Amino acid sequence: MLYYPTTILVVDDDAAFLRGLQKLLSPFPFQIQTFNSPKKAIRYIREHQFQALDRIQSYMDDDGFDTGDVEAFIQDPSKINTISCVISDYSMASLSGIDFLQEVGRQSQKILFSGIFGYDQATDALNDARIDRFISKADPEFFAKFPQYVLRSTKSFFKEFLQEERDKLLLNFMMSFIGKDQYWEFYKLTDGGVFLLKDGKGQESFLYVFDKNSLATQAEEAQYMGKVPKKVISLLEGGEHGLCTYHQEIHGEIPPKDLALYTFPLKTSEDFPFKYHIEKNPRPLFSKA
């Protein structure tokens, strides 16, 4: 389970309009690729997309790689070349936007925009699932809505790799952090609900996520560690605190008597059945040496 900045590919034979859309997306950490020719865009997609898709699917299927693979994946600068969203105008001289997006296939989210012409055809394509979203240029709020449509599409791109409903719910919860406090990446590190968050400057935090089951069992699991302070057990049994030890465990074993140092009050999500704690990471998870 993961999310990171990706490539947004935009196709329109109007160069001025392309520049305007690129400017709209400039506050986001996406890589923007613009084309005035659908054929050039298709060639670019075929050259760049499939290897990235295989790596993401492997990560999703395996609930993460081993430590070495996680490190390689997170630090690989080429992952931004993953094309999460393809956007096209309907009216182009060489190929209609709908026909172009059909050639793209299902590997990316597809957004079609159009003026007055092509509205009915675009609506039909949306209903037939040939495109994922449609935006009318005639909408007076087009330029205000466009960046949010793109952001939602990048989130939907990663959601498509998941099958289990609980995983999709957890992913939606994780996506609620994207864009807030400048967080733009997350990576699942353990099956126990530990994620690595990264902001736009590369600063790291650990996000600990607890559901009803993990809250109910954490006190019992802590007792297996040995002489755990009674205060810690009492806090964990209350369901409002979480044991957040991943950061310390990667640097060495924690003595049971010190668990109070890693027991934190949890925040409650208003929209999802999870509680969580965010811990700023004082040093990179993986050394760049």
Task: State the pLDDT at residue 206.
Answer: 92
Q: Which residues contact 45 (CB under 8 A, 6 or more apart)?
A: 9, 83, 86, 104, 108
Kindly give the interhelix angle for 142-159 and 165-175, rounded to the nearest 10 degrees. 140
Q: What is the reported pTM?
A: 0.85
Provide the token pair at 68.
């070495």
pLDDT of residue 10: 93
* The pLDDT of residue 116: 58
Contact criterion met (CB below 8 Å) for 114 and 122: yes
CA distance 122 to 127: 9
Q: What is the pLDDT of residue 254?
A: 77
User: Average pLDDT per run of 10 along the chain, which is 289 residues long?
Assistant: 92 88 92 91 84 72 59 83 90 77 83 71 61 83 90 90 84 89 88 88 91 89 81 90 81 77 92 92 64
Token code pair at residue 34: 């613009």
Please name which of 112, 85, 95 lies closest in space to residue 36, comparing C-alpha atoms: 95
> What pLDDT does 227 receive?
82
Domains and CATH numbers, the chain: 2-161 (3.40.50.2300), 180-280 (no CATH)
Burial of 160 (0-12, 13-18, 19+ CB in 10 A): middle
